[in-house]
Structure formats: C-alpha cells, structure tokens
Structure 1
C-alpha cells in the first residue's frame, strides 16, 4: 500500500511494507541536511511545525541526545475547551545523519513504534528525508495508516516548508544544531 500526497512544491510518499509492520515516509525539502536535523532536534522549532495545521504543540520535555527523552502535547482549541493529545519517547541515537527514537501516543500506550530518520543530501540545498516507523504488528501498522496520519504528516511538512522558506531555520555546514 502506497499513498502519495502533493504539497505545493513537494511530494510525500507513505508506504506500508508488505513483509514487515513498517511504514516508510519519504519527502524532499528545499533545505540542507543540517537544517532538517535542527528542525527535528530543536524543541522550539519542532513545536512550530509538527502535526496538523489546526493543532498547536507544547513541548513538556526535550533532551535530544543519545539516551535522552521527550514528551509533547498537541492541543486543539475548541468551543467546549481544548482537546489534548500527548506523545512521548526516547532518543536512542541523535546524529546529523540519523535520528533513532521511540514514539508513543499516550492514548494508546501499548503502541510503541521505533522510528528512524535519515537525511540524504541531494545537493543544491535539497535534502530527502527518509522516515520509517516499525510497530509490533501488521494490525497496529494498519491502524496507524487508517488514523488519518497522512494529514498530520503532510500539514506538518507544509509548515516546515514555510519555516525553511522564511529563514526561521538556519543550519551549519557541519550539521550541528
């Protein structure tokens, strides 16, 4: 199963692996690997782009280093008060080339995924982000896919495109955050 969504300038591909319970996401950005690394490790920047357009993000804890952990809450304001969705995980590897972390939606704490992000330098100020999420069963993978996750992924990446375009995310040649 492959889903492809188109943003203004980029295409996001979301694929379900047929042999293992894995979701692969691929997207190109007008950014250097250092900029994408920073967007994924700087909590203030991450909060500005992650998730659907109608949600804001509050970082509760963020320690982007090998062995560190994180927790954030997505908030949707409504007439009857706010809805909140909390997520947490642990960073296993944090380097300019690769981030490996766990990811758990606290509403489904048994559904832990292992995520790996890599930043492929395409040259000319472009980078291909490869993300994969490994879950414990095909059923869990299919629930993630059926949840509408592609909306949050694509809208979040569109917000990230905006931050990159307006210069909010600088980067360094060595990939340091």
Structure 2
C-alpha cells in the first residue's frame, strides 16, 4: 500500500480504507486517541474540530464536533468496543446527522508497522448496502483522504530522529 488512500467495497456492507504512514505505530495510534492530536488532523481541508472528547476504554465514548469551511457543523460519536494498544481500535459509530439506526457503522481500525512504516486499515461495516453506498457517494473518500494527508503531517518523524 502506498501513501495515498485506497478505498474499496467489500461484500455488501463494508468499506475498506487503507493508507500507509511514515511513522511508528504507537504514534499513529496516539493520533487517533489523543484529543490534542485528533484536533490537528481529523476531517477534510478547511475543517476544524471544535470539540473532541475521548474516553479511551472499552465502553467509553468519543465525540467530535466538526465545522466545515462553509460553516456547516457535524457531530460524529461512538462507543469503544475493543482497544488493543497500539494495534487495534473497534467502535460503534454514528453520524448524528443521520438516523442513528441507519447511519451507524462498526469501525475496525488496524495498525501494522513494518520498518517504521505503519499501514492503517479501517473497515466500516454498515447495516445495509444502501447506506454503505450512500456513504461512498457522499464524497467521503475525498474527505477521508484529505484528513489522512493531514494525519501524515501530524505523525511525520523528522529525518534522523
């Protein structure tokens, strides 16, 4: 996998996103789980994370309030199902702009490090093919790709470090 985001359908219900980062796995994991780091990268260009709450424990909740460049706000939230630091995070997540039963997804984040390069794979499993396809058609790939580009900057390890 390269340094660009790969997005693919899997089965009838899943989206699989993969991207590699020039950073140790522990640092990439921290960027997903520490509010001060999430605020620096989450969302597409022009998006600000106004609120970021993370209770990093099984059963703990996370919630992000985002404001896009056009002023539109969006709330994403979830509940952690599994946490295996630094290789795996599983949460049940929902976009509050959608009907909770419709927009809910099981998100499985896996981080694998090899020779200082961490490959992140995120599988999103939706309750229906219609919702999965609507998410793909929403521009999500561009937004996630831009967020991952920002993440790459946050976790960049200076040469010789």
Length-normalised TM-score, structure 1:
0.82
Q: Distance in 2 between matches of 1:166 and 1:117?
A: 22
In the other structure, the counterpart of 2:76 is 87
Asked if 1 retains the 8 angstrom alpha-carbon contact of 2:35 and 2:52, the reply is no
Deviation at 1:60, TM superposition (A): 4.5
Asked if 1 retains the 8 angstrom alpha-carbon contact of 2:38 and 2:52, the reply is no
Please list every run of 5 or more consecutive structure 1 residues that lacks an aligned counterpart in the other structure: 171-177
Deviation at 1:77, TM superposition (A): 4.6
In the other structure, the counterpart of 1:174 is none
Please list every run of 5 or more consecutive structure 2 residues that lacks an aligned counterpart in the other structure: none
Q: Is 1:105 the counterpart of 2:95 in the alignment?
A: yes
Q: What is the count of residue pairs matched by the alignment?
A: 156
Asked if 1 retains the 8 angstrom alpha-carbon contact of 2:21 and 2:119, the reply is yes
Q: CA RMSD in A?
A: 1.9
In the other structure, the counterpart of 1:57 is 49
Q: 1:77 to 1:131 in 2, by over 3 A?
A: closer
Deviation at 1:76, TM superposition (A): 2.4
Counterpart pick for 1:139 among 127, 130, 139:
130
3-state DSSP class of the match of 2:78?
A: strand
Length-normalised TM-score, structure 2:
0.90
In the other structure, the counterpart of 1:37 is 29
Q: Distance in 2 between matches of 1:129 and 1:106?
A: 25
Q: Distance in 2 between matches of 1:87 and 1:29?
A: 24
Higher helix proportion: 2
Asked if 1 retains the 8 angstrom alpha-carbon contact of 2:22 and 2:157, the reply is no
Q: Distance in 1 between matches of 2:134 and 2:105?
A: 12
In the other structure, the counterpart of 2:151 is 160
Q: Is 1:127 the counterpart of 2:118 in the alignment?
A: yes
- 1:14-69 per-residue CA deviation (whole Å, 9 max, x = no partner) reads 0001x330000011100111011101110110111011111101225310111100
